[in-house]
Structure 1
Amino acid sequence: MTRLALLLTSFLLVASFGCTQKKEESTSSPAEKSSSKKELIVGTDAAYAPFESENADKTLSGFDIEIMQAVAAKAGLQIQIVNTPWEGLFNQLNSGDRDILISAITINEERKKSMDFSDPYFEAVQLIAVPNKSTVTKFEDLKKLKVGVQIGTTGDSVVTQLLGRDSSSIKRFEGTPLALQELINGGVDAVVADNGVINNFFANNPKNFKVLSDTSFSKEVYGIAVKKGNTELLQKINSGLSQIKADGTYDNIYRKYFGEKKN
C-alpha cells in the first residue's frame, strides 16, 4: 500500500470514528439531559402572592419559592428560580428553557398530557370575593355580573364555563392581585380565584369585602412540573418533597404563610 493510500485510509477511519462517536453521544433524550445539568432553571410566575411574588430588589419570595428551595436542598439539586410570565410558562418547559415549574400549578388531566407532575404539595379550592354589600351567595349568582379572573387559571376556566367563552362580562388579568385590586376599585363585581391568594390578599388589604365558597367548586392539588418523560428528575423532586414533609420543614413553611393547617 502506497504512503498516499495509507494516509487516505487513516483519514477515513478517523472520520468514521468521529461520526460514530457523535451519533452515540446524541442518543440520550432532552429530558434525560436536563436532569444531569449542573444548575436547573425553575420557572415561576411571581405575581401570585403568597405563593410567589417579586420583591422591590427583584428577588423572589413566597410559599412555592421556599418549598422548591427546601426540596432542592434535600434532593441535592442546584437550582435558579426565574420569574416567568404565566402565559409562556408551559412552553418554556416544553422547549427546554425551564427544567422545572413551580407556580401554584393545578394538576389536571389535560396538563398531564404534556408534562409530568410531582406528588401534590398543596390542596386548593376556588373562592368568590365580593363587596360586603353584594347579594351574591353562590357561584350561579355571578351570571349577570362582571367577573375578574387571572388568565389561564382554574378561576378563568370555571367562570368561562358559567358565562361563556366570548362573554364580555369576563375581565381577565395577568395576575390575581390585579383582579382583586380592580374589585376594590369597582371595575368588577366579583373575583374567582384560589383560596390561598384571595385569603392572603384580604388579610393585607381593605376588609369591606367578603369571601364565599361554593359546593360546585371541587378541590384541586398543586404539583411541581417537569418535562414529559424526565423520570430521573421527578424521582429526585418527589424524594425531596417526601423528606421535607417527614422532618417538619413543610409544616414550618406552611405555617409561615397560611397559619396552622386545618384537619
Structure 2
Amino acid sequence: MSILRRTFALSLGLISIATLSGTAMAQNRELVVASSATYAPFAFENKDKQIVGFDVDIINAIAKQQNIKIKLVNTPWSGIFAALNNGDVDLVISGVTINDKRRQSFDFSAPYFAAHQLIAVPKDSTVTSLKDLAGKKIAVVNASTADDVASREFGKTNPNIRRFESTPLIISEVAGGGVDAAIGDNGVIAYRVSQTANLKAVTDASFPEESFGIVVKKGDKALQDKLNAGLAAVRADGSYAQIYKKWFAQDYKGR
C-alpha cells in the first residue's frame, strides 16, 4: 500500500472513530426539551413555578423508559421552533399538531394525543359552529392550528382574526368581551373553559381529527426512534393511561 493510500485509510479510520465518539456523547448528554408553559393541562407553571402537565409527564415517562437525561425549558410559543432549528433545544413537546406544513421543516414522533379544535364563547352566545363566527371577532394563538383554521375559513388578512401569544390570553379576551370567540385545541380549551364561569365550549363536526407529536430536527432519526420506542413502551405498560386519567379525569379509550 502506498504512503498516500495508507494516509487516506488512516484518515478514514480517525473520522469513523470521531463519528462514533460523537454519537456516544450525544446519547449520554442531557437533552434540552422545550415546552411553552402556558398550555394547561399540557404544560403550565404550578404555584411553585415548576412546569407540570400532561406533556411533562409523558416526556418524563419516555425519558425514564429510554434512559435519557432531559432538562425541561419553558420556551415562548412564538420562538419555540426557532429554538429547535438553532440548536438551543433538542426536541419540543408543547401540544404541537402534526401537519404537512410542519413536516416540511421538522420530524415528529408517533402521535401521543388525539386532538381537534374547539370554540370558546360566552355562555349566552348563539354560536353553534365555525361558520357562525363570520363577521365576529375571533382570538387565536399566533401560528397555531386554530390560526390556520380561521385563516382558511375567513381569510388570513381578515381584521376580525386577532392573534395572541398564548391560550390564557385568548381565553382572557373572550371572557372579558374583547372578542366574540376563541378557537384552540380541545384539551386546553376545555380545561380553560371549565375554570371560567361565563364561558362554554362549542364543538363543530367539520373540525378534522388531529394528532399531537413530539418535534425533532429534520433528519434526527436516532432521537425520533428513541422517542417512538419510549412512547410505545409507556403505552404498553399502562403508564400512558395513568397519566391521561390524571390530567383529563377520564379513562383513556384509545383512538
Task: Using structure 2 for the length normalisation, give the TM-score.
Answer: 0.88
Partner of 2:4: none
CA contact (8 A) 2:28 2:68 kept: no
| CA drift at 1:57 | 3.5
Partner of 2:240: 250
Aligned residue pairs total 245
Give the match's secondary structure for 1:144: coil
Partner of 1:48: 39
> Pick from 97, 109, 132: which aligns with 1:118?
109
| CA drift at 1:55 | 2.9
Identity %: 44
Partner of 1:230: 220
Partner of 1:218: 208
| CA drift at 1:161 | 1.6
The whole-number CA distance in structure 2 between the counterparts of 1:191 and 1:127 is 8
> CA offsets, 1:18-69, max 9 Å, x none?
xx59x8379859x968842510000111111110012343320110001000
Supply the AA of the counterpart residue of 1:193: G
The whole-number CA distance in structure 2 between the counterparts of 1:259 and 1:252 is 10
The whole-number CA distance in structure 2 between the counterparts of 1:161 and 1:196 is 22
The whole-number CA distance in structure 1 between the counterparts of 2:223 and 2:253 is 31
CA contact (8 A) 2:175 2:196 kept: no
Q: How does 1:1-263 map to 2 (within 5 A)?
A: 24=15, 28=19, 35-206=26-197, 208-260=198-250, 261-262=252-253
| CA drift at 1:259 | 1.9
Give the match's secondary structure for 2:183: strand
CA contact (8 A) 1:35 1:233 kept: no
Instruction: Flag the structure with larger Rg.
Output: 1
> CA offsets, 1:119-169, max 9 Å, x none?
110000101111122121111111110001111111111111222222211
Bigger mean CA offset, 222-231 vs 60-69:
222-231
| CA drift at 1:194 | 0.7
The whole-number CA distance in structure 2 between the counterparts of 1:205 and 1:51 is 18
Q: Which runs of 5+ in 1 are unaligned?
A: 1-15
Supply the AA of the counterpart residue of 2:191: N
The whole-number CA distance in structure 2 between the counterparts of 1:87 and 1:26 is 39
Supply the AA of the counterpart residue of 1:227: K
CA contact (8 A) 1:39 1:79 kept: yes
RMSD (Å) for aligned C-alpha atoms: 2.5
Bigger mean CA offset, 165-174 vs 246-255:
165-174
Bigger mean CA offset, 52-61 vs 107-116:
52-61
Bigger mean CA offset, 52-61 vs 174-183:
52-61
| CA drift at 1:96 | 1.3
The whole-number CA distance in structure 2 between the counterparts of 1:97 and 1:26 is 26
The whole-number CA distance in structure 2 between the counterparts of 1:184 and 1:226 is 35
